[in-house]
Structure 1
Amino acid sequence: MVAGWKVAVYVALPLILLCIAVALLCIYLKRRRLRQYTSVKHARGPVTISPSRTSLKSHPSSSESSGTPLAEEFWVPALKSAGGEGSTVELVGSQVQPFSRRRPSMSARLENSSFDPNSEMYKRLEMMKTKEPTIEYAGELHFALHYNRDMGILTIRLIQARDLQAREFSGTADPYFKISVLPDEPRTLQSKIHRKTLDPEFEEKFAFEIPPTDLPNRTIRFLLFDYDQFSRDECVGQVLLPLENVDLSERVELWKMIESYKIRTPEKKPALGDLLLTASYLPTAERLTIVILKARGLENTPHNKRPDPYVKVSILYAGKRLKKKKTSTRHSTTNPVYNEALVFDVGREFMDHVYIELVIVHENRFGQNQGLGKVVLSAESEGEELDHWKSLSASRKGTARWHSLQPLQPD
């Protein structure tokens, strides 16, 4: 028994030592090959795993044309688990990490033409900067022109409009046109107001005196307005027609697109409130009628109490107050309602030179009255006040317009 045990030990011991030596040799060779591949990777770039066989292949670098070739293909089990087939991986030391293929430097892709101001890219940018804004469609206008060269009279026949834009809240509109000849014609003529329609038919004629020599330098302007009884009428469109491009040797009939248009109003001064009024002048009776409808947004008194406002209307001529009248007083309100008509007798010879001054006054029971703001209508006014002045004789009933109050001049 003892002899048999000794024989087994002498046989098994060399085999065990041989296995250990083989295992150590395999570990050594594996580490050596990994170190060799890591050095080659730094010299030649990233590697990929082929879908057909799991092997490492070198990718030549764009910046280096030479390098130590990879010794041979070998199996790395960790690659398959780290990146999967067909993926790109990078080895760092003895670790395997996912790796995204690097793109060339941006400087390598740029060409000199990219910085050339005459290149196509810069031309497209310049076109985008200088491109005109899109014109919004607001309808179409049908009109006719006839010019009498012997008398120097241009007759504009306003026929109809169609496809006008409706108000958002009502689904319809109350359109009318204001017609003028630019740049020297001071008159602005107005058509009749058509109620609740988007396709009004006018059939109205307007005449302007223009010498034949000035005709090519004039432009006809049609301004489309939407009438509002209790606020300012809104300009919603325009048509401009330069006469230098129109042959007026015979009658001309045209359709033109109405372009969407907004009047730019100047920045408002400190808000003092607004006054709604109508004004009309009847030349045959030499009668001027001012109807004070209401006011809104008035300021409180210095003691932070609501005012007791009334409206004082004066007719001024050559710096002198010819006539004055006032409304009744409304108590403790910043939004008074009056609905009062004030009538003045004004001769036609004075009408073109008078000033209509409307002042809202706080009636102070225990001291001096305080002016809250004023509105002046005259031929020298500007903006809405000037437009209202020009429309005095256009309608017997007058047109209701809101006017912003202006500060009073200190005495």
Structure 2
Amino acid sequence: MVDAEFLGPWGRFVLIGAGAAAVLVFLLIIACFLTPGCIGYECVRKRRSICENVESQGRDSPNSINGTFESIETASTLPKDDPLKDFPTELTMSLQYLPASAENVTGKLVIGIEAVSNLPQKQYNCTLEPYVAVNIVKQSWSNRNPEKLHSFRTRGVRHTASPIYRETFVVADVKPQEVKEWAVDVTAYDHDRYANHTELCTLRVPLKEVKKLLTSPEIHLLNYKMKRSSKEFGNILLGISYLPTAQRLTINVARLANVKFAPTVPTLNDFNPYVRILMLNGKTGRKMKKKKTKFLRAAAQPEFNETLTFDLTFAQLETIQFLVAVWSKNIIAEENSSEQHSDSEESINSYKKSKDVCIGKVAIGKGARGATEKAHWFAVLQNPRKIVTVWHTLK
């Protein structure tokens, strides 16, 4: 016998034991994939969850266009928590009420904006240029929409997230009874030369809650924590792909949804949206290229389905960033609309163009601050020659 020659008199028992051990290992592996909590079961469940997410993205917005783009899972291990949330933005301001005297017939309210510390970062990799807007409103229990009485604005300070202003604003002819009904709205903005100014933080200070403001004429120095702005202006669906052989990046501007164009644009008839995409240097924030879609007239839910292409080397993908901004074309029709359809030279210029207004923006790229925006970019890099589509929030 072969067993006796090679394994001795116990060879048959050794082979039988090895076979039984192999069967036992096979059964344990199957049980691992079927028993909740085991590694195999969790891997299968995670894979199934990813497939279901991709299928659901193919069926429903907001993460893909049905029948147009191939959906790619954009989940990422990037942290979604903003580390700056541990360090709140603080405002240092001063308030002083000077009552009526022999020299001043009426009282004066003096508001001082001293400094702001730890402002949030820009959406894309570029330095801030913050300024502060101060509005005095009349707030009452019966009036949910406060009436704006006075407005002021500080200068902008470049290249800092903790600007120092030390500016004062004076409201004359104020009675103590009026001050008790007032509130001071303080809003920090970032001046953006490429798109709309971004609201960073807000704060409301009811003057009736400031102790000894009306009883003591001295300067009251106050520190407040400002609330991070959550203002949004709608959503935009973008499909991005990169072709390594052609060294070309394509951005498909699909459509917009839930665009909040008011009060920037007064009515829907005046809302003529188009999308402008700027390619920016990731280190300096300077504009390198710009392209835009056609504009649509009076479209509440505009669909563009336009593809804009940018020539990029693979090395540039590490530093380049894109600023996608939604604009409204400001077109004013002439009074004589009958001449608009004629072939005369005047009819060609029948629409007078004025400065367009920006509704909202989103930044895409490795230097983008948002977790969704950064995850979208990494998904494009990890899936060359495939179009990754994601809904983004305009801010």
Query: TM tier, shorter chain?
Result: 0.3 to 0.5
Per the normalisation by structure 2, the TM-score is: 0.39
Look at both structures and tell me which one has the larger radius of gyration over its CA atoms.
Answer: 1
Per the normalisation by structure 1, the TM-score is: 0.37
Higher RCO (C-alpha 8 Å, min separation 6): 2
